[in-house]
Amino acid sequence: MAGSLRQVAGKANTWELRVYLGRDAEGRVRHRHARFQGSRRQAARELARMVAEQEAAPAPPLEEPREWGPATTVNDAIAAWRDNGWDDLSPKTARHYESIWRVHIEGSIGRRRIATLTTYDVERFYRSLKEQGRSQALARQVKAVLHRSCRLAQKWSGGRLQNPAADADLPAWRLEEQPAAVRAPELAEVQALISAAEAEDTRFATFLRLLAATGMRRGEACALRWNDIDFDRGLLTVDESVIAAKGSALVKAPKTRPSIRKVATDPRTLDALRELRKAQEGLAAACGRELTPESFAFSFEPGGVAPPYPDSLSHALARLRFKAAVPADVHLHSLRHFHATALDPVISESQKQARLGWSTVQMARHYTDGVAAEDRRAAEHIGHLLDPTSSPPG
């Protein structure tokens, strides 16, 4: 049984461990991957343990070859895609696809044989989602899962099966049938949340302030380590993100390449992070642990060995909203909208794109509410052009 380890680039004392599992029924090599923090010797011991554990495990049963033909159902196609493709997705995306399948497809159109489905049948299924009160966004997600699985079934069957979802269209949702857009919270609402958190939990108050002050995504802030913070220069390095995996928090690369960035931070937020570090050092010392540069800043574990579970922080905000008298439509991601909106009068769209880690500058309009002051200046400017005798805008 073979295994290997390598140091993760740019991360001291962080190792990528890999154990050879063998080959699947189609001859593809399979490996088990894990990330380990510690010295090289400790990583080697952990790798040896994983190899021994794998060698002691019973051999998996051989898979029966799949048959693609008239009896193949939509559920068969999705299950095959899950077994041969979802490992390449993030755990969060795979869990979302699983939920879409189990809740909206498996018990209805999922039972149908692909060979008997028509484009009309698929469009009727999409319309039934709307009639059930499902949102347009959900219907698009269902369509993506259905289309991809049927397309793969067509490929894997050598063209014997057609893709009935290829040309199927979604019904239209009128404007009044669509949910309200996410709004940027008011400054007073953000301040109320931070103030309420300060009275209960320094860690969470600092977390909320960091999101509002930098526009970081929830997962990016969860992945923040102490060596990502340059207190002298007032800069934060964003190069990891935490997602909610099954029963744990998983550290991975950020959402997109532009998401890897350095973010300037105001002095008051840096002061809050310094105070949090003192508190985390005290907690670690009381438990006989040590806070290292690689420790996670917002960890609930003494010594910061594990990142916080993102959903637990969202649940904490839900409890805090009532105390702060803030409406239920304000979420952790709303603080990113607040940051983007507050920056409108201050920096250019391209600079805002770099600061928030967007792939395109067009994302700015998605995250930004209208700014009344800018709109007023635009109106006054055009008015002066049309009527030069009027007072020029100030």
Please list, in sequence order, all residues whose beta carbon lies within 8 angstroms of the beta carbon of residue 99, skipping any fewer than 6 positions away: none
Task: Tell me the fold of 187-372.
Answer: hpI Integrase; Chain A (1.10.443)
Q: 18-37 in b/e burial notation, b at 16+ Cβ within 10 A? A: bbeeeeeeeeeeeeeeeebb
Pairing assessment for the beta strands 14-23 and 3-7 based on DSSP bridges: antiparallel
pLDDT score recorded for residue 371: 47
The full set of domain ranges for the chain reads: 3-56, 74-177, 187-372
Rounded Cα–Cα distance for residues 10 and 14 (Å): 9
Helix, strand, or coil (residue 252)? strand
Q: Give residue 88's pLDDT.
A: 83
Side chain identity at residue 335, one-letter code:
L
Q: CA angle, 393 as apex, 390 and 394 as ends, to 5°?
A: 130
Residue 35: both structure tokens together: 């990330």
Residue 199 half-sphere exposure toward CB, CA atoms < 13 A: 8
pTM: 0.64
Instruction: Tell me how far apart the alpha carbons of residues 268 and 349 are, in angstroms, rounded to a whole number.
Output: 25
- Contact, 193 vs 316, CB < 8 A? no
Coil, strand or helix at 105: helix
As beta bridge partners, residue 113 has 73
**pLDDT < 50: residue spans in the chain:** 370-371
Sequence-separated (6 or more) residues with CB below 8 Å from residue 256 = 357, 359
Quote the CA–CA distance of 139 and 170 in Å, as a whole number: 8
CB 32, CB 54: distance < 8 Å: yes
Domain 74-177 class in CATH = mainly alpha
Query: In degrees, to the nearest 5, what angle opens at C-alpha 138 toward C-alphas 175 and 362?
Result: 65
Write the CB contacts of 86 (distance below 8 Å, at least 6 apart in sequence): 94, 97
Rounded distance, CA 201 to CA 198, Å? Answer: 6
Q: 214 and 269 in contact (C-beta within 8 Å)?
A: yes
Q: Please state, in angstroms and rounded to a whole number, the distance separating the CA atoms of residues 101 and 62.
A: 26
